[in-house]
Amino acid sequence: MKTTNFLLRLKLQKGIGYVKMLKIASQLDTADVNLKALMKMDLPSNLKRASLAAYNDDQAEIYVKRIKKQCQVISFFDDVYPEQLRQIYRPPLVLFAQGDVNLLQQKIVTIVGSRMATSYSRSVLTKLVPHLVKKGWVIASGLAKGVDVMAHKAALTSEGKTIAVVGNGLNHFYPLSNYHVQEQIIRRGLILSEYLPDTPPRPFRFPQRNRILAGIAQKVVVTEAQEKSGSLITANLALQENRDIYAVPGPIDNELSAGPNKLIAAGAIPITDYQL
């Protein structure tokens, strides 16, 4: 059995969360998984039983085939899995994708900011993103309202490539207002998720998603974000992974400038023109 199929089977098992799955995955050292290899794994008895149950679960194979008809499945062990994402803390072990997975091998800049972004962000991104596209950068964001969708739209309008990392399964469109943008990205870019396709959006999943946005990028740009926001979580995660952090400065009397201005004060590179 291919390792990717085995990991997907594990993900489908009840009671197997990330930590347990990671312990099992750390014992896998071949491209294929077989019963002999599973029996030799140095694991607690409950995890070994879970591994054997996943391997022998015929019902799981039905779900695996169904999922593969809906999207591409990428595991930590696949060549297409981006190397920079492998290096982060708690890397996703399985990813689900719709679109061009080869974009994960290109140079990526993640752009994040407030869901309540103003025309200031739109104006900046309308000019900044085309310059990035011309230099061969793929634009990544989280397909949320505000800055995220502005960044995706600017990339598509510039005939560039864009990656959306979502906090739900790929069979959901969230927010629904971004339905048409998501459809465009599937055709012209890449939609990426670590959640099984039918997983609904929930608030706690979006901060988890942010580590992927930080992990796949070489550079992260923050525009219009409150001092305590998901955008700053993404920036701090990126900083921990030694990514370059850029921020769009704003007026000090605007609460949406507090996040970028704080990042600049802490050492982020201020964007003073439309070049990175």
Residue numbers of the domain that contains 235: 101-270
Assess if residue 90 is contained within a domain.
no
Q: Give helix 18-25 / helix 3-12 axis angle, nearest 10°.
A: 150
Of 70, 91, 121, the last residue of a domain is 70
Per the domain annotation, does 46 fall within a domain? yes
- Asked if residue 235 and residue 134 are part of one domain, the reply reads yes
Residue 61 near residue 47 (C-beta atoms within 8 A) = no
- Please tell me whether residues 54 and 188 are part of one structural domain: no
pLDDT at 106: 97
Asked whether 229 and 259 are in contact (CB, 8 A), the reply is yes
pLDDT in tens, 101-133: 999 999 999 999 999 999 999 999 999 999 999
pLDDT band at 4 (very low <50, low <70, confident <90, very high): very high
Cβ burial of 69 (10 Å; 0-12, 13-18, 19+) is exposed
Beta strand residue intervals within 86-168, DSSP E = 94-99, 108-113, 138-141, 162-165
Do 26 and 147 share a structural domain?
no
Is there a domain that residue 110 lies in?
yes
Nearest to 250 by CA among 225, 213, 218: 225
- Vertex 194 angle, CA 215 and 219, to 5°: 20
Task: Based on the fold, state whether residues 132 and 261 are members of the same structural domain.
Answer: yes
Q: Judge whether 165 lies within some domain.
A: yes
Cα-trace Rg, the chain: 20
CB 125 within 8 A of CB 223: yes
The number of beta carbons lying within 10 Å of the beta carbon of residue 228 is 11
| Residue 75 belongs to some domain of the structure | no
Residue 258 belongs to domain with CATH number? 3.40.50.450
Residues 125 and 236 in one domain: yes
Which pLDDT tens digit goes with each residue over 157-208? 999 999 999 999 999 999 989 999 999 999 999 999 999 999 999 988 988 9
The answer on 244 and 117 residing in a single domain is: yes
Do 153 and 55 meet the contact criterion of CB atoms below 8 Å apart? no
Q: Do 203 and 242 lie in a common domain?
A: yes
User: What confidence tens digit (pLDDT) does each residue in 12-70 have?
Assistant: 998 899 999 999 999 887 678 988 889 888 999 999 999 999 999 988 889 999 999 99
For residue 196, give the nearest of 174, 163, 167 by alpha carbon.
167
Q: What is the C-alpha separation between 130 and 136, in angstroms, rounded?
A: 10
| Same domain for 65 and 155 | no
- The answer to whether residues 142 and 234 belong to one domain is yes
The total number of structural domains that make up the chain: 2
Domain presence at residue 257: yes
Are 46 and 181 contained in the same domain? no
Look-up: residue for tokens 């799981």? 60
| Structure token digits, residue 263 | 């990042």
Residue 96 lies in a domain: no
pTM for the model stands at 0.94
126 and 205 assigned to the same domain: yes
Is 95 inside any structural domain?
A: no
Q: Are residues 151 and 235 in the same domain?
A: yes
Reported as type and span, the H/E element at residue 60 is helix 58-70
C-alpha 206/C-alpha 227 separation (Å) is 17
